[in-house]
Chains A and B, each alone.
Chain A
Amino acid sequence: DVKVTQSSRYLVKRTGEKVFLECVQDMDHENMFWYRQDPGLGLRLIYFSYDVKMKEKGDIPEGYSVSREKKERFSLILESASTNQTSMYLCASSYLQDQHFGDGTRLSIL
């Protein structure tokens, strides 16, 4: 079974901090994704990657960056955290169209 592991379930950070969210998958999937989930807005795509060192902007990339140095690991970076980035962040991986999700990181920016 595919396992997508996000490093933290809950995280509290302060405004202006640089924040790293880590995601690891164990199925050698080419594609990896970062979404944020907000009540009434559903899931929105932040960034995705289809290969090591490759990255593409999704629908809401502003204020975020990503890193994919190894195939199994995809990191989301908040360069200077702001309160409007308080949200649930979900990582996913896929070989073709079927995406497998981690359990999410609930991030609070104070």
Chain B
Amino acid sequence: GDSVTQMEGPVTLSEEAFLTINCTYTATGYPSLFWYVQYPGEGLQLLLKATKADDKGSNKGFEATYRKETTSFHLEKGSVQVSDSAVYFCALTRSGGGADGLTFGKGTHLIIQP
């Protein structure tokens, strides 16, 4: 079956540091890939997505590129802020219409220190 693997953390960085959170996946065909973010006490919010190979998703300074050859979708940000502290989830779906739900990784807890 489909699966998503990501570093679990916690990942602790200083403010303005460069961030990379690794995500690799196993799925047949051409899944769509997502990053979701969960702030304390809240549900998940869609951060960015990519629907085909070599697509780059970006939002709020975060970026991730869909790499079919390495089955990866690593999340990056050039300069993190304290407000970026949250749990980040990588996810995929093979359903074009979105009806089948998402397969999530276990989440990466990111802590940014001032």
Contacts and interface: CB of A to CB of B under 8 A. Distances in A.
A103 interface: yes
Range, interface on chain B: 20 to 34
Interface in A13-48: 30-31, 33, 35, 40-45, 48
Given A30-B99, A48-B99, A58-B101, A101 B107 contact: no
Interface string B1-25: 0000000100000000000000000
A41 B106 contact: yes
A94 interface: yes
Interface residues of A, number: 28
A45 B105 CA distance: 12
Contact of A42 (B32, B97, B105): B105
Interface of A: 4, 30-31, 33, 35, 40-45, 48, 50, 56, 58, 90, 92, 94-104
